[in-house]
Structure formats: structure tokens, C-alpha cells
Amino acid sequence: KQEVTQIPAALSVPEGENLVLNCSFTDSAIYNLQWFRQDPGKGLTSLLLIQSSQREQTSGRLNASLDKSSGRSTLYIAASQPGDSATYLCAVHTQGGSEKLVFGKGTKLTVNP
Amino acid sequence: NAGVTQTPKFQVLKTGQSMTLQCAQDMNHNSMYWYRQDPGMGLRLIYYSASEGTTDKGEVPNGYNVSRLNKREFSLRLESAAPSQTSVYFCASSEDIRESQPQHFGDGTRLSIL
């Protein structure tokens, strides 16, 4: 059974700092890995999707990497801003089985002005 | 730009009552999903519909039923609500479950069972 772990569970940084969020998964048989952002009381917003054949994806100040063989992904946020404060979730699209998208429990990020 | 719309946004039920959560998407997506989100548990898949006319169980289907009414709409029904079903329910859609495409989420339904 696929398991997804995100470390740390919470992170507080000063504005302007570069930071890395970590995601690990136990089964490398995946179609893709997706990073989401969730604001309090809201749904999930897709940030980046990395196909299993790709190594990284970039969108603005965000860069996500994928090392499928080691079961790891990182989300790099450059020059963090208070508006980046949210919970960041990673999810893997698992091949086969009934669990099509398996989520980590998230990292709650607070960027202090 | 509605995307995925869920109704209602909030609901309080008594144990044993029934209820249907509604979800509609306007992106012409083939695949739709229902998740629940609980503190400390993350999001878990309840049911999904790969395409119109098909539904399949996810990780936690017990106590729920679903209907893929048409390509746009996918409803989740609680026949006899239990306190353990208190949760935030999210509906999502994607172009096709067989393609590696991102899922788009609604804003959720916050359900409390007393």
C-alpha cells in the first residue's frame, strides 16, 4: 500500500527566505506526483504536476523535483512571501489498485512579515 | 470560471439522517472523485468515477453511495449518517483518470453529524 509522508509538519520562516518542503513515498510505481496548496477553509489548488518520467517542474517562484527511484520529491519556494502561507500537500497518482491519488498529511507553512 | 462546484458548503445532521452532497464541474472532464479530509488523516478517496456511467470504490467507501448523474455531476449520498462521518468532503475532477493530468478540487462541504 502506497504511503506518502511529508516533513516537516509545520514550518515558520521570515519573509524573503528560500525554503524546501519534503515529500516521500513508499511505492515508486506512480504515474505522477502533484503538489497542492490549501488555504484555511478552502479546497486544494494544484501548483505543479511532475510526470513519472520527469525530474522537475517550475512555475514562477516554485520548483518541484522528483526522484522516483528513491521515492522523494521536494518543493522549493524562492523568496517566500506572507501570501505563501498555507498548507502544502503532495499526492502521488499510484498505478493500479483503488487508491488513485494518495495524499500526504501536508506541511503548514507560515511566512512572517 | 466556476470549475468544480459543491453544494451545500455546510451542513449539520443528526445521527441516522440521510443526505446527498452535490458536485458539478464545467470543464468537460471525464473523471470525478470524492474525498474526505480529517485532521491527522489527510485526504482519503471515498469513490471515483472514471467516466460517465462507471463508479468504483476508493479507500474508505463504507457508509457511502455515489451516482454519476451525467458527465458534469457526481453526487455522494450518506444513507444513515454516523458521527464518524463528520468531516470535510471534497469533490474533484480530471480530464481522464487514465491520463496523467492534474485534479481540480471544489471548496468542500463541511459536514457535522451530531
Shortest alpha-carbon distance between residue B40 and chain A (Å): 7
Query: What single DSSP character describes residue A27?
Result: -
**Separation between Cα atoms, residue B26 and residue B5, nearest integer Å:** 9
| A78 vs A94: CA distance, rounded Å | 29
Give the pLDDT of chain B (114 residues) as one tens digit per residue: 679 999 999 999 999 999 999 999 999 999 999 999 998 888 999 999 999 999 999 889 999 999 998 999 999 999 999 999 999 999 999 988 767 778 899 999 999 999
Cell of A47: 501548483
Residue A24 backbone phi and psi in degrees, to 5 = -130, 150
pLDDT of residue A96: 67
* pLDDT at res. A90: 96
Backbone angles phi, psi at A57, to 5 degrees: -140, 150
Residue pair B110/B11 in contact (Cβ under 8 Å)? The answer is yes
- Considering only the beta carbons, identify the residue of A32, A52, A104 that sits closest to B42: A104
Residues of B in contact with A25 (CB under 8 A): none
Please name the member of B40, B56, B103 whose beta carbon is closest to the beta carbon of A101.
B103
The pLDDT tens digits for A62-96 are 999 999 999 999 999 999 999 999 999 999 988 76
Torsional sign, CA A20, B105, A99, A87: positive
